[in-house]
Amino acid sequence: MNIVLLGAPGAGKGTQASKIKEKYNVLHISTGDIFRANIKGGTPIGKVAKSYIDAGKLVSDEVTCDIVKDRLSQDDVKAGYMLDGFPRNLFQAGELDKFATIDWCVNIDVDFALLQDRICGRRVCACGESYHVSTLNGETKCAKCGGELYQRADDNPETVKARLDTYQNQTAPLIEYYQKQGKLVNIESGTKSPDEVFELICKELDKRVK
Ligand code: AP5
Ligand code: MG
């Protein structure tokens, strides 16, 4: 099963990806994580990506599509994968359809009013887990691997506003794109907890996966 995970910044893509990958045994490929690893490693891609990410804008389609195409050409994706954060505009979606076959697009639909607090209160671990300060009770280590938690450089109020604008203008049209292809699985997340959202996702995916 090959899935695209769609949703605004802070919608819970990373949170759900970590649950989905365990249950459905699919690989989690996050373009945001790939860029952050490149920034940390000081690579040429990281140097280019940093200015866009810090501004809440999209990294160029050429660079991003090349990264995903290359990643999907590797053998380990054959059992199935989940793309988190790609595609992010109509051009990327069209390119993806040239080099991959997507079965379902899971769209996590969240009220915009919740996102600023979720993003600015997020703490992440290098292993990929996300937490929120409101449920950490002062804990500074990852419950999964014991790693030190930290705040992402783009998780500040100014950048968040730009990221939400970018989402509205460029990424939201993908909902209709996948709906027209009959692949949209819409999840009304509302104020549900991560476990409740995961239950909804499983219910919908289980209907579709034979
Ligand atoms: P990326 O890393 O993809 O960030 P994003 O889309 O802004 O999404 P986030 O990771 O912020 O949110 P999420 O949906 O994963 O939420 P999470 O589960 O962590 O991209 C970063 C940047 O890279 C982009 O801005 C762009 O510059 C660049 N980039 C990436 N892909 C690109 C592409 N294809 N093309 C060009 N540029 C690209 O949850 C958020 C918080 O909420 C956490 O604290 C979590 O604990 C909490 N939470 C989650 N679910 C719930 C819930 N149900 N109830 C309460 N709290 C919850
Ligand atoms: Mg994420």
pLDDT in tens, 25-77: 999 999 999 999 999 999 999 999 999 999 999 999 999 999 999 999 999 99
Is-above-0.85 flag for pTM? yes
> Which ligand is located closest to the Cα atom of residue 122?
1
34: in domain: no
| Structure tokens belonging to residue 51 | 């200015």
Kindly state the average pLDDT of the residues 13-30: 95
36: in domain: no
pLDDT band at 128 (very low <50, low <70, confident <90, very high): confident
pLDDT of residue 198: 98
The count of structural domains within the chain is 1
Torsion angle of the four alpha carbons 118, 46, 162, 113, in this order, in degrees rounded to the nearest 10: -10
Q: What is the DSSP letter of 30?
A: E
Q: Domain limits at 93?
A: 2-26+79-111+171-209
133: CB partners within 8 A, 6+ apart: 121, 122, 123
- 160 C-alpha to ligand 1 centroid (Å): 10
pLDDT of residue 159: 94
pLDDT of residue 23: 95
pLDDT of residue 210: 67
In angstroms, rounded to a whole number, what is the distance separating the alpha carbons of residues 151 and 121?
A: 8
203: in domain: yes
Does the Cβ of 19 fall within 6 Å of ligand 1? Answer: no
pLDDT band at 24 (very low <50, low <70, confident <90, very high): very high
In angstroms, rounded to a whole number, what is the distance separating the alpha carbons of residues 45 and 121?
A: 28
Identify the CATH number of the domain in which residue 102 sits.
Answer: 3.40.50.300
Q: Could you identify the atom of ligand 1 that is nearest to the CA of residue 167? A: 6
Q: Could you identify the atom of ligand 1 that is nearest to the CA of residue 135? A: 46
Does the Cβ of 128 fall within 6 Å of ligand 1? Answer: no
124: in domain: no
31: in domain: no
194: in domain: yes
